[in-house]
Structure 1
């Protein structure tokens, strides 16, 4: 009851585990498991964020340099080219036009950025739009697959932890459902919970949703038959975690050469656009 008064600090999983531990008289064991689970979550999240940090820094640096060049450097060169009436190659003309548009209409970009930050979250409060967004996001190559694997990792790990603590499957599904962050999977878990209430095994209920990979209901079926569902869910969670780590590795491996190619093309374009007119000017003297 005391923890429920602070929902911003203690989530539903934490509260349910503590309540179950108090009822069964094994609060010390439950808190130990919870601490291990939180540590695993922190370590897993750190791995994913750490792997994505380098590409994010490089891409952010590229965007920042491009903005500085277009808004501050290119306009000064434009004045130089006009004074000497330099003959401009096509890449330079394109760059100058882009710079002119950016310097005159930068406020449109600012409004668009503000709109992305404030308006889109408001739009996503609409259940229909949120569902469409979640569906499209999961279809993004590599990133969508990674998001699925991360959700499945957290779903199986948390569900296994709740079941091992003695929480009823229906209650555990409802608690986990609230933490998924994707409306498609939230609906699927809600449907599975209703099927379990009707008497269907958890494996059958999850398989009927059609959204979970076949390995999950298959492994859960084994756990239900052997009476070791929590242990099986822990193993499945470890499997999905390994898959997530591999997906992150594949993503960073694919991004690195792509970033280098884009960077090379961008630098080459800038060299041709800026240096060639200057070279033409100096060659006249």
Structure 2
């Protein structure tokens, strides 16, 4: 959808301006002529004025707010078109743009799920499928409320992970800054002292000094190094490093985090009215690794073949934990599978946050000891040449 800025004349001869979304300039002109007799100006807003596409995506908090408020308005009996218009009056420019585009599509006769599908990058890939199921079952407000809860809980999980990683990250950054400052400003002074005292520095100090001189002579290398370091950090945070989430302690936390998200989403999809096989397909799309997505597809195939979800999950114990499998069995026996999946996700989420908090508590003294050990090793490397001359002093006297 392209954004257009327009200027028209109404029947009283007054000039009216505004902005709208349309698939093409011709489509935008046809929409305007349905309301105004004369179109004076119609031009697209260039992409650089809109910002990069990724910047226009809504955050989890904005999506949670949008769907929760929309659910409240619909539960209050307000028509969908008016509800979307009201939400577009907020202060967030991204929400204003999205709601304006949704309103125009709704006026053109599209359903809410179809309009969300057209703007899935901003609205989220889950919203169209869930809302479509809610429209079929007549539970659109309940589905939107569940979608808002999903984004809210996902946001809280991200916050817990970030808080657990913040202290180690700050310690690592501080250590890196101290090491760089030492190599850049302090080490040359010591090397001059060693030269005056005719002391032989260690090979490690000589190598660090050579790197420092190389960086001083070719500054672009420093920027390339920092850019590469930032890129590697971004890849690791996005899970593309391929090894950090396979470490012994982190692997279990990583698996539990995605099991919570998968179980909660599967619960939400089933509660919205989707069949189990379709819910498994939609839930598997959020998984980050091909290995996990393959297991999800195998679960779907076994369910289609007539096996119960509990029976299929027993064939893949590495995918669902024992607690989740037990809740699945109870849910299938009682006919309350969505509720039981949600309960299992809630219990696992509490346990996951507790483990993250304990891990953070354990890491704090370990990192302090590591920082102290690194400082001691640095002092030893710097002062070790001094020991040579100090050992010679008694012999000279």
**TM > 0.5 fold call:** yes
CA drift at 1:276: 6.7
Structure having greater relative contact order (Cα 8 Å, sep ≥ 6): 1
Query: Which residue of 1 is the match for residue 98 of structure 2?
Result: none
Q: Among residues 308, 322, 329, which one is paired with 1:221 in the alignment? A: 329
Stretches of structure 2 lacking an aligned partner (at least 5 in a row): 1-113, 216-220
> Does residue 1:141 correspond to 2:141, yes or no?
no
Query: Which residue of 2 is the match for residue 126 of structure 1?
Result: none
CA drift at 1:39: 1.4
Greater shift in the superposed pair: 55-64 or 225-234: 55-64
Query: Which residue of 2 is the match for residue 173 of structure 1?
Result: 280
Cα RMSD, aligned residues only: 3.0
> Does residue 1:235 correspond to 2:343, yes or no?
yes
Distance in structure 2 (CA, Å) of the matches to 1:230 and 1:176: 13
Distance in structure 2 (CA, Å) of the matches to 1:137 and 1:58: 18
Distance 1:252 1:71, change over 3 A: same
Q: How many residues align?
A: 267
1:161-200: CA deviation from partner (whole Å, max 9, x where unpaired): 1111111111111111111112221111111011111111
> Does residue 1:34 correspond to 2:141, yes or no?
no
Q: Among residues 259, 262, 279, which one is paired with 1:152 in the alignment? A: 259
> Does residue 1:63 correspond to 2:170, yes or no?
no
Query: Which residue of 2 is the match for residue 127 of structure 1?
Result: none
Query: Which residue of 2 is the match for residue 103 of structure 1?
Result: 212
TM-score (norm 2): 0.60
**Do the aligned residues in 2 keep the contact of 1:20 with 1:166 (CA within 8 Å)?**
yes
TM-score (norm 1): 0.82
SS at 1:160 equivalent: helix
**Do the aligned residues in 1 keep the contact of 2:120 with 2:127 (CA within 8 Å)?**
no
Query: Which residue of 1 is the match for residue 306 of structure 2?
Result: 199
**Do the aligned residues in 1 keep the contact of 2:277 with 2:303 (CA within 8 Å)?**
yes
1:74-129: CA deviation from partner (whole Å, max 9, x where unpaired): 133212321232x46xxx625513413532666499569739938x97xxxxxxxx
Distance in structure 1 (CA, Å) of the matches to 2:155 and 2:297: 27
CA drift at 1:259: 0.8
**Do the aligned residues in 1 keep the contact of 2:134 with 2:140 (CA within 8 Å)?**
yes
**Do the aligned residues in 1 keep the contact of 2:277 with 2:304 (CA within 8 Å)?**
yes
Distance 1:102 1:240, change over 3 A: farther
Structure whose residues are more often helix by fraction: 1
SS at 2:265 equivalent: helix
Query: Which residue of 1 is the match for residue 46 of structure 2?
Result: none
Distance 1:177 1:53, change over 3 A: same
Distance in structure 2 (CA, Å) of the matches to 1:94 and 1:176: 56
Distance 1:137 1:61, change over 3 A: closer
Structure whose residues are more often strand by fraction: 2
SS at 1:54 equivalent: helix
SS at 1:237 equivalent: helix
Distance in structure 2 (CA, Å) of the matches to 1:273 and 1:109: 27
CA drift at 1:43: 1.7
